[in-house]
Structures are given as structure tokens and as C-alpha cells.
Amino acid sequence: VLDNIDDEFLVKFNRRHKSDLASVNQLIVSDTKINQVNVLISTLNKFQYIYELRLEGVYMNELNSKTQMKVNLPNLQVVKFFYCTNELLSMFTNLVNQLKVFKVCLIQHNDLLPRGDSHDTVLTIIRNNSQSLDKLNLFEINFDDTFLEKISTQSLSLRSFSMSFCYQTTYYFSSTIGFKKFIRSQALTLEKFKIRTFDHINQTHLNILTNLAVNLKHLNIIICPHCEWNELILNKLKKLEKLKIESKNFCSRGGATLNKFMEKFMSNRFLTVKYLSITGEFYINDEIISQIITSLPNLKILKLQYALNVQSKHVSMLRDKLKSLKKIELNFCEFLDNRKTIFCDMKN
């Protein structure tokens, strides 16, 4: 880990380490402000054997941000890029069919590069590694439906995709053309889809996802509290093993939204689902518990957070009826003394 370093440190480091650092396979550079980007790249290139590089909070002087140098790390397979100067992205544009994991979060309201140029750089890295890229995470900063449409034209075969957009209107009101084209382009290989903390997925987007990406095994979603969830089609997800559902209570309808979603979800039967996590105000009663038992007969782990009206009899029902159940976690639920309660290893 290189934390809170500066130009002077980098110069001394380069002088002291003349040869490759063969013992290092993971490197984190964080909370750093530099003036000489070439010195930084020279330092990174000494770590010839690293397979994972994480840059977080690395900033450069605007006047010294331009460089023609690139990272030359033949064993690098994982790049995680968070809250760094956008220009640093150009250091990775020479990597060709090398990256397996690419996670990127751009700086919001950064004037070093127009946002469109930054997106072009991200797209270049994705394009150059289209044959090797397995996992792509786009975080927070205004990657929109149009950007997803551009990605859909690349020859990608992703197994995992995670996204979070800066503006929630992306899901409330925007076109779904790019989203649909992207999901269709990855439908055969995509096994994991995740919406992150700052955004929701609405009924239209979820139905596109579940109709096309039929090989999904892991689905992590935050549902839109403004969506009625009148039509929910999940019966094509024959391979789903892990489902995490979260509802954000940005409005008074939040609890009703989650109950509506769960009502529709439980109308399906999922023989393959072994893990279910639900976070949000969700009213538990005997009927809901019976639906869980019927819909998820092979469930092994159940996690409920902020669920309302949970009673000890509900736990007993689950334990008695779900023969594969190994663990129940109730966090911040109205259960007994209202403290965190965990039941684990309930069966040998």
C-alpha cells in the first residue's frame, strides 16, 4: 500500500528500487497528490508482477497531467479506479485483452477533462480488453443509457456487471434502448447483475433484464419506490441462486412498494434460490411466511432487515418447513427485544 505519498517520495522510491519488485502481486495507491505523472507511472511499472492495481483518491496538478507514458504491467488483470483524476485513465489505454476486472468511478464535476472525453477513455479500455474482460463495474458518475448502448457494440462476454448512475432520473424517465441493447448483447454469459446504493431499478428495466439474461445466478437490486410493480415476470430465471432486494424509503410509499414487489415475486416458484436477502420496511405475517416456504423450498440462508411484525412463530414456521434452511438473520426487526437476532446452524 502506498498511502498519502508525494513526488519526493516517488523519486526516492525509484532510486532505491532499481529492479522489479517480484514479491508484490497487489498494489493500492491512495490519498495522493502529485505533480509529475511520469514519475508515478515509472513507479507503477516497477511492479511487473502485480495482478491487481487499485487507485483511489490520486490527484495531479492540472498543468502537469498530460503524458504519453503508459503503464506496462504484463501480469495486470484487475484495475480498480476510484475518485482519481480522470486523466489517469489514459495510462491504461495500451492494455490489450489483458484485464479481467475493470471497476471505475470518475470524479464528479471535474474540469480536467470533459466528461464525454472521460467516457471515451473508459470505452477505449473496455474495447481494448473485450476478449478478456469478465467483470465490469461502472460507479456513480453519469454513465447513462447512451453509454450502455455504446458498450453493447463491443464484443464482450461479461459474467458480472454492476452499475450505479449519478442521476436517478436515468431509471425513472429515461429511454431503455441502451439498457436493452446492452443486456441483450450479454444475455448468454451474464450471471451476476447488481445495482449499487445510489440508484433503483424500475419495473421496465427489471423485466428487460429477467426476460433476456436468463442465465442469471446472482441478482442484487434496489427497487424504485415510485413503481407500482403491477407486472413482474421472473419465471425465466431458472438458474437464480442468490437474490438481494433493497428498498429505499425516499417517500411514504416505500414500505408499500416493497410489499407489492414481494407479493409479485412470491407468485413465482424458485427451486434454485438458496439465498434471499430483503432490506426495507416489509410487513411480515403468516401468509408471507407461507409464501416464502412455498416459493423457495430449497432456501438455505434468509436475511431480513427492517422487517415489521416479525414474531417467533414465523421463525419456527421457517425452521419446520424449510428442510434446507441453515441460517436466519433478523437485523433491526420488530422481533423479541428488537435487538439483532441471529439463528445459525439450526440443523446438523
Region label for 321, one of left (φ > 0), alpha (ψ between -120 and 50) or beta (otherwise): alpha
pLDDT above 60 for 337: no
Kindly indicate the confidence band of residue 108, based on its pLDDT and cuts at 50, 70 and 90.
low
165 half-sphere exposure, CB direction, 13 A CA radius: 18
Q: pTM for the whole thing?
A: 0.85
Which residue in 123, 157, 116, 153 sits closest to 138, CA to CA? 123
Element (H, E) at 36: none
Kindly indicate the confidence band of residue 53, based on its pLDDT and cuts at 50, 70 and 90.
very high
pLDDT above 70 for 322: yes
- pLDDT given for residue 69 in this prediction: 76
Least confident of 16-25, 130-139, 159-168, 278-287: 16-25
pLDDT above 90 for 127: yes
Kindly indicate the confidence band of residue 340, based on its pLDDT and cuts at 50, 70 and 90.
low
Residues 6 or more apart from 50 whose CB is under 8 A from it? 24, 25, 26, 27, 73, 75, 76
Kindly indicate the confidence band of residue 273, based on its pLDDT and cuts at 50, 70 and 90.
very high
- pLDDT given for residue 114 in this prediction: 43
Which residue in 272, 144, 133, 257 sits closest to 203, CA to CA? 257
Kindly indicate the confidence band of residue 52, based on its pLDDT and cuts at 50, 70 and 90.
very high
Least confident of 41-50, 111-120, 311-320, 339-348: 339-348
The pLDDT tens digits of the residues spanning 224-265 come to 877 778 777 788 899 999 999 988 765 444 457 888 888 888
- pLDDT given for residue 110 in this prediction: 47
The pLDDT tens digits of the residues spanning 175-218 come to 688 889 999 999 999 999 998 766 778 888 888 999 999 999 99
What average pLDDT is seen over the chain?
81
